[in-house]
Structure 1
Amino acid sequence: MEYIRITSIEDPLFRSMHNLMKEVFPPEEVLEYELWKEPLEDPGIRVFVALHEGEVVGTTEYRYYEDWNVAMTDFTIIGREGHGIGRFLAQHRLKDLHALAAANGKELLGMFAEIYDPYRVSDYEFGGIKPMDPFVRREVLSHLGYKRTDIDYVHPSWNNDGEAVTGLDFCFMPSDDSMSELPAELIVNFLTRYYAVLPEKPQAWLDMVAKLKQREKVALLPL
């Protein structure tokens, strides 16, 4: 299996990757094909595919923020069972992030991720691919070390229609597992920058950020 970075929508592997995304994720979670041009060309956004015998069988997108020394996992897709694709992507991603942090003269503080909560929303099918089942994914991510931030979380729809998307938790995987809280300011700054690309923000998201600005710390809870 190969770990290959995608940096252009002209790359034929990107078409395969985008098709895989549409098979797995709900429509409001998938950015339109043409809108990927700038993100893929952004050196700070890292999009990789797992290529097995010429076929895209998995993909992950993430980014590293030098000023905060944190990463964000945008998504991870496992497109086929029984090939160890999840571990392959997680190991290569973490190795890459540790290298980026080291080049920044630091040890990685940790990594954010939005994680579906199937106990609140029951109709996520994820293309019928068993490793992508939200119950399975949630437990795997818990095993990896992700913790749930103590926030009533919503995020803007990637359709940029001003709708609020619920049914997810905003989580953090600290490099130091004993870490039990994060500065609220870090979360506010991160979410503000991360969703700057979407001008249409739902009121629920604005209210969530406003409440966070009134807090000093946010607890990290079991996932």
Structure 2
Amino acid sequence: MEYRRITSIEDPLFKKMHQLMQEVFPPEEVLAFDFWKEPLEDPGIRVCVAVHEGKVVGATEYRYYEDVNIAMTDFTIIGQAGLGIGRFLAKKRLEDLNAWAAACGNQLFGMFAEIYDPYRVEHYEFGGVKPMDPYVRREVLSHLGYKRLDFPYVHPSWNNDGEAVEGLDLCFLPMDENVNELPTELIVTFLTRYYAVLPNKPQAWYDMIERLKTRDTVVLFHL
């Protein structure tokens, strides 16, 4: 299996990856094809695919913010079972992020991710791929060390239509497993920057940010 970075919508692998996203994710979670041009060319974002026998069988997007020394996993896609795609992507991603942080003179503090709550999104079939089942994914991510941030989470729809998307938790993978809470300032800084690309945010998102600002820290709980 190969780990390949995509930097252009003209790359044939990108078309295959976008088709895989449409097969696996609900429509509001998939950015339109043409809107990918700038993210793919952004040096602060990595979009990588797992290629097996010429086919894109998995993908992951992630980014690193040097000034706050944290990363974000935008998504992980496992296109089929039985190939060890999830482990392959997680291993390659972490190796890359550790090297990226080291090049900036840092030791990576941790990584955010949005994780589906299986008790609220059971109706999502995720392309019928069992490793993408919310129950399975949540358990796997728990084993990887991700923890749930203790506050009600919503995010703006990637359709940029001003709708609030629920059914997910904001989670964090601390590189030091003894970290059990995060400064609220870090969370707000991250979310504000991450969703700056979407001008049409729902009021529920702004309300969430304002509630966070009234707290000093947010506790991390096991998934």
Which structure 2 residue ranges, 5 or more long, are not aligned?
none
The aligned length equals 223
Which amino acid in structure 2 is aligned with residue 11 of structure 1? Answer: D
Q: 1:52 — aligned with what? A: 52
Matching of residue 142 in structure 1 with residue 145 in structure 2: no
After TM superposition, the score normalised by the length of structure 2 is 0.99
Asked if the contact 1:156/1:164 (under 8 Å) is kept, the reply is yes
Q: 2:110 — aligned with what? A: 110
Distance in 1 between residues matched to 2:146 and 2:124, nearest whole Å: 21
Distance in 2 between residues matched to 1:92 and 1:148, nearest whole Å: 23
Asked if the contact 2:121/2:134 (under 8 Å) is kept, the reply is no
SS at match of 2:81: coil
Distance in 1 between residues matched to 2:57 and 2:128, nearest whole Å: 15
Q: 1:57-206 maps to which residues of 2 (within 5 A)?
A: 57-206=57-206
Question: What is the CA-CA distance between 1:182 and the residue it aligns to?
Answer: 0.3
Question: What is the CA-CA distance between 1:121 and the residue it aligns to?
Answer: 2.5
Distance in 1 between residues matched to 2:127 and 2:79, nearest whole Å: 9
Question: What is the CA-CA distance between 1:151 and the residue it aligns to?
Answer: 1.0
Of 98-107 and 152-161, more deviation after overlay is shown by 98-107
Which amino acid in structure 2 is aligned with residue 104 of structure 1? Answer: C
SS at match of 2:197: coil
Q: Write out the 4+ residue segments of structure 1 that deviate beyond 3 Å after TM superposition.
A: none
Question: What is the CA-CA distance between 1:105 and the residue it aligns to?
Answer: 1.1
Matching of residue 28 in structure 1 with residue 31 in structure 2: no
Which amino acid in structure 2 is aligned with residue 200 of structure 1? Answer: N
Cα deviations across residues 128-157 of structure 1 (Å, max 9, x unaligned)? 001101100000000000000011000000
Distance in 2 between residues matched to 1:120 and 1:85, nearest whole Å: 26
Aligned-CA RMSD value? 0.5
Q: 2:207 — aligned with what? A: 207
Asked if the contact 1:116/1:134 (under 8 Å) is kept, the reply is yes
Q: Percent identity?
A: 75
Distance in 2 between residues matched to 1:121 and 1:95, nearest whole Å: 31
Question: What is the CA-CA distance between 1:120 and the residue it aligns to?
Answer: 2.1
Asked if the contact 1:118/1:124 (under 8 Å) is kept, the reply is no
After TM superposition, the score normalised by the length of structure 1 is 0.99
Distance in 2 between residues matched to 1:186 and 1:110, nearest whole Å: 12
